[in-house]
A and B are shown apart, each in its own frame.
Chain A
């Protein structure tokens, strides 16, 4: 289990997260939502082991992340960050193979895993394209494939029972509608295989559809954590986004939905 207990994080002297407790278990998809600057990416970096909390503890199976070697960490979790900038002209297959090798795959198997992962994100045939020649959305999917290849390589490691985690920072940003749904479908499929998936999402409706749990951040604190049908209501939208938006109920499956176009110009926070 990947968790953070009562964690506070300051970046450059400014508090970004205060007293955050969150856990990510195997087989679940957790969507993190919140306004810009609410601390979503910082929470993800905390769980990735990239930044240490100033108070509290971020742990993997009870061990503080800071005590784990980066290589050991890379075999247990993969991260897709926002818009990474590539320094040299690597091809899509090369980038994805880095993920597979970080997950522990030997080179030849890494190439095979890379091909498969690219196909999973609908980029079959793009193996030898330099990433710099791809569109923003396509490059984004290459990085998603890299994270998939990393956890898949780790799965075939031998100790198959150990749960692995996938941390995705806005995996649907700059994707077209078809590929947004596709990416979340991939996340669900990975969870069905026993992975714990945490994804930062901006589209509440997508988050509601894709996630087992929604964790909402506001001002660096967690203001909601629970199943979408339980936590998403009018008060939730007001607390998280400071918007007075009515939450509707789709007639057939009974899932909440929000139509942003009916929003008043401003609302009390």
Chain B
């Protein structure tokens, strides 16, 4: 059998495509960021924003008209930065989690990790009244992200424990356990929000649908340290996640310390998702959508998939946030509504495609 005549898949997926996807991702992200900075209720157009950013970079903030400075530097810029951080964290977390669970349906928002993080954050707000003030100065902004990290980690461990039977994580069990955890954590969060009488506690929609409305530099900087471990670990996990696609035993044969990979991955994802939830509530489907679109476009190689998922996640969230604050201006849509509108059909499509094998 001479093979070449029988191989109707000439379209190569060379390394160049991986690099190109990252370049394209960067360009799209820059465009989305600029659009996000230029559009909004205050009616400062692209030209004015570009001028303001240029002046702020060159001559400093003092050279700007105070209103413009406030709108661009204190409102829109931290919000765009937070959207980029949260979107990148969610996109990357989704890609890593799917690699670890060996399944494209594992999204932190769908399997209970985000709701576990939200529950922990709300618990700290309601029960830990004044805890932030009692912390050493400078640590306050980290309290919620760390609490959410612990909640997300606990949820991940429970999920993994309940969905794994004799070393194999069943997809169906994972999704069902995820539904149960999401419902339970959501109910407890709702209960806490309902009984709470605390000025700090925003309304329930923030925790269930997410939002970037309260973005500040302090929040962004508070979330960043917990998002960094995953971003730094990702390049070193890519080869392991590729090998894990063959199975855990095969990954070991290929020289991967599988247990270490799983421990590191679960910890870093929980930290990243926890930080995202602490500052923006539960925003679903970004972690599902970004890696999925990229697997179709550039293939499943995690060396390209991980950085590209972070970039696309950030771009998606910037655009979703742009939509959330402009579609029904001057009111604001919860951002999770928009991400769910985009993500739920894709999720459904993925489920239908694998319906036959889902029980396996």
**Residue positions of A touching B, CB distance < 8 A:** 12, 45, 48-50, 69-75, 78-79, 81, 84-91, 94-95, 98-99, 101-102, 107, 122-130, 133, 150
* A122-B3, A129-B7 as given contacts; A89 in contact with B300, CB under 8 Å: yes
From B104, B257, B300, give the contact of A90 (CB < 8 A): B300
Interface centre among B9, B104, B247, B254 (most CB of A within 10 A): B254
State whether B254 touches A150 (Cβ < 8 A).
yes
From A72, A91, A98, A123, give the contact of B246 (CB < 8 A): A98
The 9 closest A-B pairs by CB, nearest first: A74-B255, A125-B4, A88-B300, A87-B102, A125-B3, A102-B254, A79-B253, A71-B255, A87-B245
State whether B243 touches A98 (Cβ < 8 A).
yes
Q: Which of B10-18, B262-270, B319-327 contacts A (4 or more CB under 8 A)?
A: B10-18
* A50-B253, A70-B252, A98-B242 as given contacts; A129 in contact with B1, CB under 8 Å: no
| Inter-chain contact total with CB atoms closer than 8 Å | 99
State whether B247 touches A84 (Cβ < 8 A).
yes
In the complex, B19 has a CB within 8 A of chain A: no
Q: Which residues of B contact A12 (CB under 8 A)?
A: 166
Known contacts A81-B249, A90-B245; 10 additional CB pairs below 8 A are: A70-B252, A73-B255, A74-B254, A74-B255, A81-B253, A84-B249, A88-B300, A94-B301, A102-B254, A107-B15
In the complex, B74 has a CB within 8 A of chain A: no
From A81, A98, A129, give the contact of B9 (CB < 8 A): A129
Instruction: Give the Cβ gap from B356 to chain A, nearest Cβ, in Å.
Output: 13
Q: Which residues of A contact B9 (CB under 8 A)?
A: 91, 128-130, 133
State whether A128 touches B10 (Cβ < 8 A).
yes
* A89-B295, A90-B300, A125-B4 as given contacts; A98 in contact with B254, CB under 8 Å: yes
Q: Which residues of B contact A102 (CB under 8 A)?
A: 243, 253-255
State whether B3 touches A123 (Cβ < 8 A).
yes
From B1, B3, B239, B253, give the contact of A101 (CB < 8 A): B239
Q: Which residues of A contact B245 (CB under 8 A)?
A: 86-88, 90
Instruction: Give the Cβ gap from A222 to chain B, nearest Cβ, in Å.
Output: 23
- By beta carbon, the residue of chain B nearest A119 is B3
* Cα–Cα, bound, A130→B243 (Å): 16
State whether A125 touches B6 (Cβ < 8 A).
yes
From A69, A122, A123, A133, give the contact of B257 (CB < 8 A): A69
**B contact residues, total (Cβ < 8 Å):** 37
* A84-B247, A101-B239, A126-B3 as given contacts; A74 in contact with B253, CB under 8 Å: yes
* A88-B295, A94-B301 as given contacts; A78 in contact with B253, CB under 8 Å: yes
State whether B249 touches A85 (Cβ < 8 A).
no
State whether B7 touches A45 (Cβ < 8 A).
no
State whether A84 touches B250 (Cβ < 8 A).
yes
Within 8 A of A (CB), among B1-57: 1-7, 9-13, 15
State whether B3 touches A124 (Cβ < 8 A).
yes
State whether B299 touches A91 (Cβ < 8 A).
yes
Within 8 A of A (CB), among B93-130: 102-104
From B7, B15, B249, B295, give the contact of A50 (CB < 8 A): B249
Interface centre among B4, B250, B252, B300 (most CB of A within 10 A): B250
* A79-B253, A122-B1, A125-B4 as given contacts; A90 in contact with B301, CB under 8 Å: yes
State whether B4 touches A124 (Cβ < 8 A).
yes
* Cα–Cα, bound, A248→B149 (Å): 69
* Cα–Cα, bound, A224→B17 (Å): 53
In the complex, B173 has a CB within 8 A of chain A: no
Q: Which residues of B contact A88 (CB under 8 A)?
A: 104, 245, 295, 300
Instruction: Give the Cβ gap from A218 to chain B, nearest Cβ, in Å.
Output: 25
In the complex, B244 has a CB within 8 A of chain A: yes
Q: Which residues of A contact B253 (CB under 8 A)?
A: 48, 50, 74, 78-79, 81, 102
* Cα–Cα, bound, A220→B256 (Å): 29
Instruction: Give the Cβ gap from A14 to chain B, nearest Cβ, in Å.
Output: 13
* Cα–Cα, bound, A131→B78 (Å): 45
State whether B246 touches A125 (Cβ < 8 A).
no
Q: Which residues of B contact A150 (CB under 8 A)?
A: 254
* Cα–Cα, bound, A127→B7 (Å): 9
State whether A87 touches B244 (Cβ < 8 A).
yes
Q: Which residues of B contact A128 (CB under 8 A)?
A: 7, 9-13
* A87-B103, A128-B11 as given contacts; A70 in contact with B255, CB under 8 Å: yes
* Cα–Cα, bound, A150→B3 (Å): 23
* Cα–Cα, bound, A17→B5 (Å): 47
State whether A126 touches B257 (Cβ < 8 A).
no
Interface centre among B104, B245, B255 (most CB of A within 10 A): B255
* Cα–Cα, bound, A75→B255 (Å): 8
- By beta carbon, the residue of chain A nearest B259 is A70
* A87-B102, A102-B255, A133-B9 as given contacts; A95 in contact with B300, CB under 8 Å: no
* Cα–Cα, bound, A156→B299 (Å): 29
Q: Which residues of B contact A72 (CB under 8 A)?
A: 255
Within 8 A of A (CB), among B225-259: 239, 242-247, 249-250, 252-258
* Cα–Cα, bound, A130→B296 (Å): 12
* Cα–Cα, bound, A12→B167 (Å): 12
State whether B7 touches A126 (Cβ < 8 A).
yes
- By beta carbon, the residue of chain A nearest B291 is A88
State whether B255 touches A85 (Cβ < 8 A).
no
- By beta carbon, the residue of chain B nearest A90 is B300
* Cα–Cα, bound, A79→B252 (Å): 10
* Cα–Cα, bound, A69→B257 (Å): 8
Q: Which residues of A contact B300 (CB under 8 A)?
A: 88-90
Q: Which residues of A contact B6 (CB under 8 A)?
A: 125
Q: Which residues of A contact B258 (CB under 8 A)?
A: 70
* Cα–Cα, bound, A127→B8 (Å): 11
* Cα–Cα, bound, A49→B251 (Å): 12
